[in-house]
Amino acid sequence: MWLHPLRRKLFRDLTTLKGQIVTIALVVACGVAALVTMQSALRSLRDARETFYAASAFADVFVMLRRAPEAVGGRLADLPGVRAVDTRVVGMGTIPFADRSEPARVTVSSLPGSLGRLYLREGRLPEPGRNDEVVLSDAFAEANELRPGARVPLVVGGVRRNVQVVGVGLGPEHVIVMNVGDMAMDAKKSGVLWMNRDAAEAALDLGGSFNQAVLSTVPGFDTREVIDGVDEIVRRYGGLGAHDRERQMSDFMLSQELMQLENMSAQIPPLFLLVAAFLLHVVLTRLVQLQRGQIAALKALGYFNREILQHYLELASVIVVLGATLGVGFGAWFTREMIGLYEEYFRFPTLRATLDPQTAITAILVATLAGVLGTVTSVRSVLKLTPAAAMQPPAPARYRRGLLDIGFFSRLIGPSTRMILRELQRRPLRVALSALGIGVAVGLMVVARFFGDAMDYLVDVQLHESQRWDAQIAFAEPRPLSDLRVFESMPGVFRVQGLRAVPIRIVHEQRSRHISLFGHFGDPEHALQRVVGAAGVAFEMPADGVLLTDTLGDLLGVGPGDTVTLEILEGDRRTLQVPVAGLVDELFGLQAHASADTLHRWLGQEPSTSLALLSIDTAQAEALDRRFVALPDVIGVAHMARVLQQFREQSAQNIGVFSLILTLFGAVIAVGVVYNNARVALSMRERELASLRVLGFTRAEISTILLGELAVQVFAAIPIGLVLGRVFSEAMAKNVDPEMFRFPVILSTQTYAFAAVVTLASAFVSALLVRRKLDRLDLIGVLKTRE
Amino acid sequence: MSEVVLSARDVTKVYRMGEVDVHALRGVTLELVAGELLVLLGASGSGKSTLLNILGGLDNPTAGKVMYQKQDLTAASDKALTLFRRAHVGFVFQFYNLIPSLTARENVALVTELADDPMTPEEALALVGLTERQDHFPSQLSGGEQQRVAIARAVAKRPKILLCDEPTGALDYKTGVKVLEVIEKVNLELGTTTAIITHNAPVAAMAQRVVALHDGRIQREELNEARVSASQIEW
């Protein structure tokens, strides 16, 4: 016989169990797909980063300064531990596209030398001496449909000139390009423009000098020592504090993303595999019970326990292999999609979606382990019996009288309800685990919408309570307050306010951070930008001292009443000791706040402003825009309405995909648990239900008994799931770097309702599938078979 | 005196059922002689199935000694008992215990795959007269046919011993007789030592030796002088 009879039995069993096999395999597939996708994306991004950083000689230490003669670069190179130095001239510029009201903001930089070299995707570098030739960052060029040969207007330092695009490329310091202060990335509006050093010096008025230096260090040398040495040298040239890669904007954001991916890949896939193991256990336990007599016969015929165990393991492995194969396939597909999404933000010379074979193998092994676990736990009990005992039908299930049998309750409930309740009471652990399984599904659906909810709340608090302006104008240099009058006279402008921002280093004992210190004008009642805590309440500025973001307070180890040192990184660069007046639970970033009066007193300056905040007639936004851009020294104009729209579109896109996938995964688990439980319950109680039919119960009545049990589990699972959803969401929120965002775990009623409704719908579909089987119950056949 | 194949000496078996001890066997001594056809008679609850299970290595005795030729089965491990069943014993059960997802031929093949010198499944099925039905699933066979498949499955490996537990218990008279004829044929043609347990006294007429069990003890044991063939049995 070409196939062992046990194999034939396996294939026939598989055919009878196909519905259950498919639903469990899908749960396995989700777990494997999640693991493969996240790990592969992680690997792809990491590889792309390593390759690009190595090929382009990405620097280790970075410093911005006001202006230093080129000779200072030589002194930096002489510092111990420094391998190479590259000095640059960097500034901000705008590209006022003729067909758009809002100009694009670009970082204007001299071409990198030995460090952070450009990768050219198209065209060439500017020729020496050609000061009108530029290279554009590729995402920006792509978004604005600019290719080598295009001419664009460029405004730097109030001077407008036309430049010729000769190349499109990217640099390791600009893997992601986002303007400071923007809430969302917009490739159309922010980019990098590289030109010859002479051209940049001329445009930025920095002849013979530099204002940025990047350094590479000797491997193994303590970077902090280099940073201190650099700070020491550039202090008198207006140094803004040297830092390592960790605080390099582009690398920081990339690292954030990698960290999130890594954490999620450790959290989500194990959930699925646990549920899959549980389902395999439930289904196989029932199968083994049903086949108890067969197992006994096999043992009587002389089959060893391990041969019988192997037979059931083969059954489980078919499910696992099917699931894992599907999972790897889906994983490969999701990875491509995910990498596609990443490519819109993170730019590398090559970012390839590579399916990580090691991960695929790990995922399959882990899934197999789950399968083995589920199988062994269910088969073991029968294998332990002697064949003689296994041959006997299992002892009748033991039911107990319980609470519901007390006279009063007893009269209230009919026999069907009584059967449902006794059954639930008999297997409390199974009921609890099933409810937990469905709960996981509900929880995933809650998490699916958590980021959306959190974003909505952030936007609500940040944009409606904190940033109440319609337009914000950024100046290249602080301006006297009187300069704001020019806006007041513009038609359509209702109100103007200033906001002073000063770059500082805040120090307490050994700990320090580079942050912005904001000077607020006016009282919070009327201010266009105010300091708002997580609960949406605005804070009044203290008469003396600073308010710190609470996360910053934690980092520095200070609280109200403590004194911190502020090193002002502009003007005369004075150092101050000031008291901490309080901590604020702000949702974004790390910053310090003071009243404008206090700040200017500390600075020893007349009141000035870095930003103009405007309340305007939004209908006139476009006309106003043209006037704003024409003003000298304006480096940026932001409109709240557009920021909001951009932000919403971007998060809808990112969160949308994530949320859809998690919802689908949740539904797969819900169907997996409910359907399998129903099938198992049906096979266990076939005889009982058929007997009831013979006694005259209708189909609807016996359906009620079977499905009622499931309904109780599902309803019990929903509150559990909502709580789990909150727990999962808290875990997710922790994946986000606290220095950047504090995601409030605030879940809307709609989210809870959504999770509950999708779960109920999944349960309903599963119930329908089982109901079909119930309707086809073969009364005579079932009763004739021996239990 | 012929060779003793299987023996039980002072065998007792106590089951714990909840808080009570059930004495299924209370000191039974019995020998099975090569090639004989033995009928164990007893009412329900007399301990006959327990005895058969212990003789066949499906269960361990609480006390006493069980020997297969020179091998001591009394405290044999699960593995040793499995090997013993695999090599030497064929079982026929009251409820056939066929694997429902396998055809008649495949059910027999379950055993021929394990044995050293088996018949082919076809030969075994021919022996029980089921050549025509070999590709049917258990659900497509009558009770008598299913039991004959079970017999084919039991004898296909040419076992030393054939143990039949109420082989006619679930069958009507006519089919029951047919099944007994097959067992008799196996005993005669293959020389397999055969023990049939039954509560149905007329079956004893086909035995060479009859042992009656009552309440866990052997009540009487006698040679059957007036042995008749299975086809002549009536009840």
What is the domain partition of chain B in residue ranges? 34-60+77-232
Nearest residue on chain A to B95, judged by CA atoms?
A786
**What per-residue confidence (pLDDT) applies to A114?**
93
Q: Above pLDDT 90, what percent of chain A? A: 35
Q: Name which residue leads in pLDDT, A282 or A436.
A: A436
DSSP label at residue A129:
T
Please classify residue A375 by burial: count the beta carbons closer than 10 Å to its beta carbon, then call 0-12 exposed, 13-18 middle and 19+ buried: buried
pLDDT digits (tens, 9 = 90+) for A584-606: 998 888 899 999 999 999 999 89
Distance between A684 CA and the closest CA of chain B, angstroms: 17
Nearest residue on chain A to B89, judged by CA atoms?
A301
* Own/partner pairs, A574-577, CB within 8 angstroms, 24+ separation: A574/A602, A574/A603, A574/A604, A576/A602
**What per-residue confidence (pLDDT) applies to A623?**
84
pLDDT band (50, 70, 90) for residue A787: very low
| Prediction pTM value | 0.78
Which of A17, A291, A292, A301 would you mutate first to test chain B, the one with the most B CBs within 10 A? A301
Distance between A285 CA and the closest CA of chain B, angstroms: 18
Distance between A381 CA and the closest CA of chain B, angstroms: 15
Distance between A5 CA and the closest CA of chain B, angstroms: 6
Distance between A783 CA and the closest CA of chain B, angstroms: 14
pLDDT band (50, 70, 90) for residue A546: very high
Which of B92, B94, B106 would you mutate first to test chain A, the one with the most A CBs within 10 A? B106
Mean pLDDT lowest among A547-561, A689-703, B162-176: A689-703
CB pair distance less than 8 Å for B86 and A299: no
Mean pLDDT lowest among A298-312, A373-387, A434-448, B198-212: A373-387
Interface ipTM above 0.90: no
CB pair distance less than 8 Å for A5 and B82: no
Q: Which residue has the tokens 């039908």?
A: A393
Sheet holding B20-33: strands in order across? B20-33, B4-17, B63-68, B71-72
**What per-residue confidence (pLDDT) applies to A398?**
63
Nearest residue on chain B to A389, judged by CA atoms?
B59
Sort out which chain B residues have CB atoms less than 8 A from A296's CB and list them.
97
**B18: CB partners within 8 A, 6+ apart:** none
For residues A91-105, average pLDDT: 83
A17 in contact with B, Cβ within 8 Å: no
Is pLDDT of B1 > 80? no
What's the gap between Cα A282 and its chain centre?
34
- Structure tokens, A575: 């150092």
DSSP label at residue A405:
G
CB pair distance less than 8 Å for A1 and B109: yes
Helix (H, G, I), strand (E, B) or coil at A639: strand
Q: Above pLDDT 70, what percent of chain A? A: 94
DSSP states along A132-200: TEEEEEHHHHHHTT--TT-EEEEEETTEEEEEEEEEEEE-GGGSS---TT-SS--TTTEEEEEE-HHHH
Sort out which chain B residues have CB atoms less than 8 A from A386's CB and list them.
53, 58-60
For residues B181-209, average pLDDT: 93
Q: What is the C-alpha separation between A711 and A434, in angstroms, rounded?
A: 11
Helix (H) or strand (E) run with residue A616 in it:
strand A608-616
Please classify residue A626 by burial: count the beta carbons closer than 10 Å to its beta carbon, then call 0-12 exposed, 13-18 middle and 19+ buried: exposed
Q: Which residue has the tokens 């904007």?
A: A249
Which one-letter amino acid corresponds to residue A25? Answer: A
**Chains A and B: how many Cβ contacts under 8 Å?**
85
Sort out which chain A residues have CB atoms less than 8 A from B111's CB and list them.
301-302
Nearest to B86 among A302, A305, A391 (CB): A302
Strands (E), A220-376: 243-244
Distance between A302 CA and the closest CA of chain B, angstroms: 4
CB pair distance less than 8 Å for B99 and A299: no
- Structure tokens, A288: 């083994």
Sort out which chain B residues have CB atoms less than 8 A from A304's CB and list them.
79, 82
In chain A, what are the domain boundaries?
1-56+253-395, 57-252, 409-466+641-787, 493-616
Mean pLDDT of chain A: 86
pLDDT band (50, 70, 90) for residue A407: low
Nearest residue on chain A to B156, judged by CA atoms?
A301
* Domain B34-60+77-232 bears CATH identifier 3.30.930.10: no
Our CA angle for B91, B218, B11, nearest 5°, is: 65
**What per-residue confidence (pLDDT) applies to A423?**
76
pLDDT band (50, 70, 90) for residue A781: low
Our CA angle for A182, A186, A191, nearest 5°, is: 95
Mean pLDDT lowest among A40-49, A151-160, A298-307, A690-699: A690-699
Our CA angle for A246, A252, A258, nearest 5°, is: 115
Sort out which chain A residues have CB atoms less than 8 A from B98's CB and list them.
297
Report in angstroms the alpha-carbon separations of B228 from A488, B195, B203: 125, 16, 10
Is pLDDT of A342 > 90? no
Q: What is the C-alpha separation between A368 and A364, in angstroms, rounded?
A: 6
- Rg for chain A (alpha carbons), in Å? 33
Sort out which chain B residues have CB atoms less than 8 A from A294's CB and list them.
97, 99-100
DSSP label at residue A62:
E
For residues A422-431, average pLDDT: 79
Nearest to A665 by CA among A362, A373, A356, A440: A440
The three-state (H, E, C) secondary structure of B105-150, written as one string? HHHHHHHHCCCCCCCCHHHHHHHCCCHHHCCCCHHHCCHHHHHHHH
Q: Name which residue leads in pLDDT, A673 or B212.
A: B212
pLDDT digits (tens, 9 = 90+) for A516-530: 899 999 888 888 999
